[in-house]
Amino acid sequence: MGEYLFHDRTEAGRVLGRLVANRVTDAPVIVLALPRGGVPAGFEVARGLHADFDVFLVRKLGVPGQEELAFGAIATVGTRVLNRAVIARMDLSPQAIDRVAQQEQLELDRQELVFRGGRLPLDLHGRTVVLVDDGLATGATMLAAVQAVRIQDPKRVVVAAPVASREASKQLRTVADDTICAQVPHPFYAVGCCYRDFEQVTDEEVRDLLRRFTRSSNTPRTVLQING
């Protein structure tokens, strides 16, 4: 790849939002962003759709010593997705897999507290859910998110990202009802290579975007009712 595809996640979210608006015309819609990088992009998508907006908590499972190489992912509702090919190639033992999963579960629990602060997740039943991240490299994290969302019986699940590898885009098309990517560059090196500004998004920035959206939205927020 030559020049950067996007200045930052906000610009990428606005570009993506226009594409999503042309493809997702049914209602009601919920936009769920994968923290932390997906939140600025998801914020712009949700604003463009006039949709409900929230985070969806999911964590990549990285190979020890090569954490950028994902062998799976876990989601806050207890879903675990494993890439058996990567596990076999890296000769990962069940014990090593469990250790990484336990560490990432701690971060999921922390994010649940920091980002939600006791607020219940939105009710996804019968809704069209648009899952947004700032980019899809292996697609493992998004795959876990799709499978976790499916458990909650939505009407449709749409995956949306400003940029994706060919492999991730192809894989996600087999599990999502629709996959929308603004750019699918080849060769694909890394998500960060597609952005001029790819500074890490902080917890405070995520909280601020969630607060800003809640204050500016006129859409009632329906929460998941838990009995028992």
8 Å CB contact between 96 and 124: no
CA of 81: how far to CAs of 95, 110, 148, in Å? 16, 20, 10
Q: Could you tell me the two tokens for 70?
A: 């994902």
How big is the chain by its Cα radius of gyration, in Å? 17
Peptide linkage before 221 cis (omega within 30 of 0): no
For the chain, which ranges sit under pLDDT 70? 1-2, 215-228
Strand partners, 177: none
User: Furthest-apart CA pair in the chain: how many Å?
Assistant: 56
Residue 66's Cβ-count burial label (10 Å; 0-12, 13-18, 19+) is exposed
Q: Supply the pTM of this predicted model.
A: 0.85
Set out the domains of the chain in order of their start, with CATH numbers: 9-215 (3.40.50.2020)
Residue 218, pLDDT score = 43
| Residue at token pair 């490299």 | 137
Residue 151, pLDDT score = 86
Residue 2, pLDDT score = 53
Residue 180, pLDDT score = 98
**Is the sign of the CA dihedral 18, 54, 135, 153 positive or negative?**
negative
> Would you list the DSSP string of the chain?
--S-SBSSHHHHHHHHHHHHHHH---SSEEEEEPTTTHHHHHHHHHHHHT-EEEE--EEEEEETTEEEEEEEEEETTS-EEE-HHHHHHTT--HHHHHHHHHHHHHHHHHHIIIIITTPPPBP-TT-EEEEE-S-BSS-HHHHHHHHHHHTT--SEEEEEEEEB-HHHHHHHHTTSSEEEEEE--SS---GGGGBS--PPPPHHHHHHHHHHHHHH--S--PBPP---
Residue 119 half-sphere exposure toward CB, CA atoms < 13 A: 18
Share of the chain above pLDDT 70, in %: 93
Residue 166, pLDDT score = 96
8 Å CB contact between 199 and 36: no
Phi, psi of 31 (to 5 degrees): -100, 125
| Residue at token pair 């699918």 | 184
Residue 17, pLDDT score = 97
Residue 215, pLDDT score = 61
**Is the sign of the CA dihedral 179, 184, 187, 188 positive or negative?**
negative
